[in-house]
Amino acid sequence: MEILAFGVQADEKPLIERAFQGHDDVHCLDVFLNADTAPIAVGHEVVCTSVNCDLGPRVLQTLVAGGTQMVAQRSTGFNNIDLQVAERLGMTVARVSSYSPYSVAEFAWTLAMAVNRRIVRASTRTRDFDFRLDGLMGRDMHGRTAGILGTGKIGEAFARIAHGFGMRLLGWDVAENPACMELGMTYVSKEQLLTESDLVTLHVPLMPQTKNLIDADALRAMKDDAILVNSSRGGLVDTAALVAELREGRFTGVGLDVYEAEAGLFFLDKSLEAIEDDTLARLVTFPNVLVTSHQAYYTVDAVGQIIAATVKNVLDYTAGRRSENVLVPRS
């Protein structure tokens, strides 16, 4: 069986090819799956996709018409897939339900500390042999309050690091995590968390009920000198509202590894093109904002686990088995 993998990064390609060796024939492409590239998949029973691929109705119909029967998504998130259409078309859809939570939690902390201690600005200065400390003053995390929206595996890993810093822990989630409570976390309303936290971090999935979880009202509720970190999904934050608050001089720092309109931008080289997204163009100009290109998961450990789970998903599909990773079962 031939598998076509879309949106494969250069570092991922040898790992994917090695993982499928002896099982199936896999072809890796660096282009993302969308309406324009979907015809490439003709004759491939399985397509392997990433979170920035477009698997809307039009793309799914094109895939099915070309003989594709399974979508193996290399991510936990699946908001880019129209599951109802996939089910109606008789497709099987699987994802990676979990991988190293430490990869994302550690990167979220990297963003938080980078904006807190002005690391990017300091590094830029020293490259120019400017060794002044003006404007580089940060704050101790010890004794301050970390507000964690979403306390699943990643949120818990973030909380453990925060506990190591000696921080007070506030949590918000639909269900309380006993492991977080053992660390001393207190579960409160979202409003109280935003009002009292010095550091707010997002670790919830993107669903209709969490879209723009951090909207204009939520941003106004936060402390003027708070730090905001989002390493989950871009749609959790109303970016236009965030820009408006930043223009008022608010927030010590903002670290974003995701962006609500990142599809067609992130993972690609746009350095020689004019960026038409005015909101993103304005966002990256603020000296207290650090934007990275959805790389929180990108460790050899996490990517290895993602690829291993993807191979297992394809093998399960071939054998007619069902696992917790299946979103739409084989019809």
Whether 142 is catalytic: no
Q: How far is CA 200 from the centre of its chain?
A: 16
Whether 233 is catalytic: yes
From 44, 118, 233, 250, active-site residue: 233
199-202 and 227-230 as β-strands: parallel, antiparallel, unpaired? parallel
Q: State the DSSP H helix or E strand holding residue 161, giving kind and residue range, or none if neither.
A: helix 153-165
Three-class SS state of 109:
helix
Whether 182 is catalytic: no
Angle at the Cα of 20 (from 3 to 47), degrees rounded to 5?
20
Tokens 């400017």 sit on residue: 130
Quick check: 119 and 98 in contact, CB under 8 A? Answer: no
Cross-strand bridge partners of residue 120: none
Quick check: 236 and 213 in contact, CB under 8 A? Answer: yes
Strand arrangement of the beta sheet that strand 46-49 belongs to: 25-28, 2-5, 46-49, 70-73, 92-94, 326-328
In whole angstroms, give the CA distance from residue 48 to residue 291. 27
Give 134-139 contacts, CB < 8 A, sequence gap 24+: 139/198, 139/252
Q: Which residues are part of the catalytic machinery?
A: 233, 262, 294
